[in-house]
């Protein structure tokens, strides 16, 4: 008993130590009365959570203190946010009510806590469709962006302390983090937090790869530091000689970004050269900032030869999230490319602390990119037609992508996401311009609507009163605004056609002596497998359903019971899960019970025996088997956790599975012949398709082959790599498909 008292005493001291550390971080921004307010919030949190502990066994209060510290130190938020961070869980987890909070701390704090409470359930483990909740979360962004920033601090602390959670929770939280929170941090300009969230997610989703890269980075640390010092010293010397006050240092790239580079270029760790970036932070007064940055650029490029294609100037045109910096890539002394980032202290603070730093510099900054961003979010949220998942994809696509700058004929600047087309530009100008657009002139040349725009293009839109939005436009527009407007125009058009169809159907049913009432119309829609009665009327008007079809309906004696689509899905999910779980375990064994359980291999990642896989229950295709590192996996786990089934392969040799190989090499006479000989004769493997592109003596090809399992595939890859002239052979995934 005595020992417990000592423990509690030690914990009490630790809590106070952490609280004092938090106060030290807040000190620079404290106004009169702020300290008392923070103390009051701390006391309330301490009292409310006094009997609660975290999974690790630590007192729960450690979590709110840590979240408040991240909000203050790493995001740069002020007293109101620190108070809210300390209290962010009390309304949800304890007896304290919102009214109590408002009485003690005022309306503003209560409103932010209310926002945090509303979105705390956004990603609870039982929530089956997080997209709708994510939408609610973003609605609060329109009220007060601090809600989102505190939520990010909360998620960051949870990710940092996740080792005590069960494996399935770790995977789920990591998937959500990489899918939503990391891009959100990126978009709000919090680059340090974005990188850490990505690394922490990878630590749990790609455990082995993460550890290998981490180990490699540590082993080469001394060598890397020596290289950085040799590279930086001459720059530092010239900057000082020229009267520029600057900090020059090397910053290692995140594990996640190194992994991305390895995947993108299909290269091993040893071949990734830019494992770090050099950063030059200048101490400049606002009016000299631009000139000083370019002066530093000139010094760097005098010392080292720059790569002209790799200059990025975000000082003249900052990114929409306020990011300003000058990036260049130069050739280092050992013949390798080194990225150099040049910015001032103010720019660096905005780059590190994003949104929060923006408020601090608001008076001196004319850049309203962030206000425009929040406005864009509001516009998207107001669109009542968009389905939650479409909305989520549109949101990610629009707000988490880099932007390009396009000029109007009069020289006005319009910002669009990368890959935007002439049609997106037309809709960005005005909905009516977009709807009646028939083509465009880009830099005075005539181009089609689907033409992808490049940074700096000048675009003039050509319209016609006879033009109206077409269904295929949706295939090439990328902005949410264009998509929403096209969809609503098509909907309106469909509604008009359906009105005519309704009258035609009424006449036809009368001649067949069928009463025209809502019950029969529902039955007809179900008989023709249509989603809605509007689709039924539309198909009648378009002649897709005629008298012959209606007579067939009359002839079918049995009327099928009508079930709403959602119900069917839930029932199917439940019954499939039951059919799997009646066995000894809840793992789906692939290769057994083919008749009993209907499963298919997903096209997006072409799994083969030996791959780590999971099952995903779809409405129309039974269970689909995906690789755990499939491009769609994080999205599926994040949005439809309840439809994911654990799966593994049973041993089976006789089945062949389709997979793809990408090859590169030096073009040589008879090379194709050598490759096909290895595949067909030596390995007795069937080839489904082969495509080869040759350009100036270099060839790139892809081959679709049938193999038994991963071991079979690895042996084939080894054998192909041994063919003279081949430089690389990698497995690839095919198209990314929609989560159905």
pLDDT tens for each residue of 681-729 = 776 677 777 877 776 677 788 888 878 778 888 888 888 888 888 888 8
Predicted pLDDT at 198 = 93
Lowest mean pLDDT of 84-88, 204-208, 552-556, 576-580, name the range. 576-580
Higher pLDDT, 13 or 144: 13
Query: Is 93 known to be catalytic?
Result: yes
Mean pLDDT of 154-163: 92
Question: 4: which 2 tokens?
Answer: 């417990």
Mean pLDDT of 431-447: 88
> Across the chain, what does the average pLDDT equal?
78
- pLDDT band at residue 566 under the 50/70/90 scheme: very low
Name, in order, each residue with C-beta under 8 angstroms of 409's C-beta and a sequence gap of 6 or more: 458, 459, 460
Question: 257: which 2 tokens?
Answer: 């970004």
Lowest mean pLDDT of 146-150, 172-176, 667-671, name the range. 667-671
Contact indicator for 505, 540 with CB cutoff of 8 Å? yes
Is the pLDDT score of 106 beyond 50? yes
Rounded Cα gap, residues 56 and 59, in angstroms = 9
Name, in order, each residue with C-beta under 8 angstroms of 622's C-beta and a sequence gap of 6 or more: 576, 597, 598, 599, 600
Predicted pLDDT at 654 = 54
Higher pLDDT, 322 or 588: 322
Contacts for 203-206: CB closer than 8 Å, 24+ residues apart: 203/174, 204/162, 204/170, 204/171, 204/173, 204/174, 205/171, 205/174, 205/175, 205/178, 205/634, 206/259, 206/629
Rounded Cα gap, residues 491 and 478, in angstroms = 19
Bridge partners (DSSP) of residue 337 are: 331
Predicted pLDDT at 1 = 40
Lowest mean pLDDT of 249-253, 297-301, 467-471, 597-601, name the range. 597-601
Predicted pLDDT at 443 = 83
| Opening angle at CA 721, ends 717 and 722, nearest 5 | 120
Predicted pLDDT at 425 = 94
Predicted pLDDT at 541 = 84
Name, in order, each residue with C-beta under 8 angstroms of 228's C-beta and a sequence gap of 6 or more: 249, 250, 276, 278
Rounded Cα gap, residues 685 and 657, in angstroms = 11
- pLDDT band at residue 6 under the 50/70/90 scheme: very low
Predicted pLDDT at 560 = 37
**Of the spans 298-307, 576-585, 587-596, which averages the highest pLDDT?**
298-307
Rounded Cα gap, residues 295 and 305, in angstroms = 16
Higher pLDDT, 723 or 572: 723
Predicted pLDDT at 722 = 85
Q: How many helices (H) and strands (E) does the chain have?
A: 29, 19
Contact indicator for 709, 673 with CB cutoff of 8 Å? no
Predicted pLDDT at 5 = 46
Q: Please tell me what DSSP assigns to residue 72.
A: I
Catalytic residue among 9, 43, 47, 92: 92
Task: Tell which residue, 520, 320, 502, has the closest CA to residue 402.
Answer: 320
Q: What is the pLDDT of residues 398-425, one digit of tens each?
A: 554 567 778 888 777 788 888 899 999 9
Phi and psi torsions of 346, nearest 5° = -60, -45
Mean pLDDT of 432-451: 88
Is the pLDDT score of 335 beyond 80? no
Predicted pLDDT at 675 = 81
Is the pLDDT score of 506 beyond 90? no
CB crowding 464-503: b at 16 or more within 10 Å, else e: eeeeebeeebeebbbbbbbbbbbbbbbeeebeebbeebbe
Rounded Cα gap, residues 460 and 634, in angstroms = 40
- pLDDT band at residue 374 under the 50/70/90 scheme: low
Query: Is 394 known to be catalytic?
Result: no
Higher pLDDT, 467 or 622: 467
Residues in the chain: 740
CB crowding 35-62: b at 16 or more within 10 Å, else e: eebbeebbebbbebbeeeeeeeeebbbb
Predicted pLDDT at 120 = 58
Predicted pLDDT at 66 = 93
Alpha helix (H) residue ranges in 327-472: 345-360, 369-382, 388-399, 422-429, 431-435
- pLDDT band at residue 570 under the 50/70/90 scheme: low
Mean pLDDT of 540-555: 77
Predicted pLDDT at 297 = 94
Predicted pLDDT at 705 = 81
The arrangement of strands across the sheet holding 657-666 comes to 687-695, 698-707, 657-666, 726-732
Predicted pLDDT at 241 = 92
Burial of 231 (0-12, 13-18, 19+ CB in 10 A): buried
CA distances (Å), 550 to each of 497, 521, 555, in order? Answer: 19, 12, 9
Residue where the block lists tokens 């962030």 = 370
Is the pLDDT score of 395 beyond 60? no
Predicted pLDDT at 568 = 46
Q: What is the pLDDT of residues 599-645, one digit of tens each?
A: 788 877 778 777 888 888 776 667 888 887 787 777 777 777 777 77
- pLDDT band at residue 39 under the 50/70/90 scheme: very high
Catalytic residue among 93, 352, 367, 569: 93
Predicted pLDDT at 649 = 75
Mean pLDDT of 59-71: 92
Rounded Cα gap, residues 91 and 663, in angstroms = 58
CB crowding 547-558: b at 16 or more within 10 Å, else e: eeebeebeeeee
Mean pLDDT of 237-244: 92
Percent of the chain at pLDDT > 90 equals 15
Lowest mean pLDDT of 190-194, 211-215, 386-390, name the range. 386-390
**In 501-655, at which residue ranges do the beta strands (DSSP E only) sit?**
588-590, 599-601, 613-617, 623-627, 644-649
Bridge partners (DSSP) of residue 312 are: 327
Predicted pLDDT at 591 = 60
- pLDDT band at residue 344 under the 50/70/90 scheme: very high
């Amino acid at each position: 008993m005595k020992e417990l008292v000592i423990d509690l005493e030690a914990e009490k001291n630790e809590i106070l130590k952490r609280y004092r550390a938090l106060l030290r971080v807040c000190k620079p921004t404290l106004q009169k009365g702020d300290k008392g307010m923070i103390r009051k919030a701390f006391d309330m949190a301490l009292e409310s959570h006094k009997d609660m502990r975290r999974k690790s066994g630590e007192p729960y209060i450690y979590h709110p203190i840590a979240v408040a510290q991240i909000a203050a130190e790493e995001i740069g938020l002020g007293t109101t946010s620190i108070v809210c961070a300390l209290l962010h869980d009390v309304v949800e987890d304890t007896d304290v009510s919102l009214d109590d909070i408002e009485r003690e701390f005022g309306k503003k704090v209560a409103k932010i806590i209310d926002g945090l409470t509303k979105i705390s359930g956004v990603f609870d483990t039982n929530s089956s469709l997080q997209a709708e909740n994510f939408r609610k979360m973003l609605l609060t962004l329109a009220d007060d962006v601090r809600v989102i920033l505190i939520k990010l601090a909360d998620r960051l602390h949870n990710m940092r302390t996740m080792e005590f959670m069960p494996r399935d929770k770790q995977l789920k939280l990591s998937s959500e983090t990489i899918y939503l929170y990391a891009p959100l941090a990126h978009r709000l300009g919090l680059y340090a937090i974005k990188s850490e969230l990505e690394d922490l997610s990878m630590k749990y989703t790609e455990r082995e790869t993460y550890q290998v890269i981490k180990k490699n980075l540590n082993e080469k640390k001394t060598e890397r530091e020596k290289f950085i010092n040799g590279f930086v010293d001459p720059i530092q010397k010239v900057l000082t000689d020229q009267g520029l006050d600057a900090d020059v240092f090397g910053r290692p790239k995140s594990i996640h970004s190194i992994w991305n580079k390895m995947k993108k270029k299909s290269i091993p760790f040893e071949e990734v050269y830019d494992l770090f970036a050099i950063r030059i932070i200048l101490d400049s007064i606002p009016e000299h900032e631009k000139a000083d940055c370019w002066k530093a650029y000139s010094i760097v490029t005098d010392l080292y030869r720059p790569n002209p294609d790799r200059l990025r100037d975000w000082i003249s045109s900052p990114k929409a999230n306020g990011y300003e910096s000058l990036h260049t890539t130069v050739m280092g002394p050992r013949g390798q490319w080194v990225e150099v980032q040049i910015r001032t202290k103010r720019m660096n603070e905005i780059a590190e602390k994003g949104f929060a730093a923006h408020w601090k510099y608001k008076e001196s900054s004319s850049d309203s990119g962030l206000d425009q961003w929040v406005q864009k979010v509001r516009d998207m949220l107001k669109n009542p037609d968009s389905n939650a998942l479409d909305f989520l994809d549109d949101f990610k696509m629009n707000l988490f992508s880099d932007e390009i700058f396009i000029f109007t004929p009069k020289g006005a600047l319009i910002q669009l996401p990368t890959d935007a087309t002439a049609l997106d530009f037309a809709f960005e100008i005005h909905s009516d311009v977009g709807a009646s657009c028939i083509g465009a002139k880009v830099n005075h040349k005539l181009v089609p609507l689907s033409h992808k725009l490049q940074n700096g293009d000048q675009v003039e839109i050509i319209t016609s009163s006879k033009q109206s939005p077409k269904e295929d436009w949706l295939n090439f527009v990328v902005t949410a605004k264009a998509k929403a407007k096209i969809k609503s125009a098509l909907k309106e058009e469909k509604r008009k056609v359906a009105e005519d169809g309704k009258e035609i159907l009424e006449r036809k049913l009368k001649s067949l002596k069928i009463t025209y009432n809502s019950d029969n119309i529902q039955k007809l829609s179900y008989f023709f497998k249509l989603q809605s009665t509007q689709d039924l009327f539309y198909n009648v008007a378009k002649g897709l359903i005629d008298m012959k079809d209606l007579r067939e309906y009359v002839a079918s004696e049995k009327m099928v019971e009508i079930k709403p689509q959602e119900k069917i899905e839930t029932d199917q999910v439940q019954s499939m899960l039951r059919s799997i779980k009646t066995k000894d375990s809840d793992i789906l064994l692939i290769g057994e019970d083919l008749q009993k359980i209907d499963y298919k291999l997903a096209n997006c990642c072409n799994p083969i025996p030996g791959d780590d896989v999971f099952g995903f229950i779809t409405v129309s295709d039974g269970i689909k088997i995906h690789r755990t590192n499939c491009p769609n996996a994080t999205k599926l786990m994040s949005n439809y956790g309840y439809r994911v089934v654990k799966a593994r392969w049973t041993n089976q040799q006789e089945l062949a599975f389709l997979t793809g190989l990408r090859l590169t090499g030096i073009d040589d006479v008879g090379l194709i012949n050598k490759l096909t000989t290895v595949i067909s004769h030596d390995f007795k493997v069937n080839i489904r398709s082969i495509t080869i592109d040759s350009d100036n003596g270099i060839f790139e090809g892809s081959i679709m082959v049938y193999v038994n399992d991963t071991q079979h595939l690895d042996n084939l890859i080894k054998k192909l790599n041994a063919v003279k002239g081949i430089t690389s052979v990698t497995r690839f995934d095919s198209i990314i498909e929609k989560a159905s």
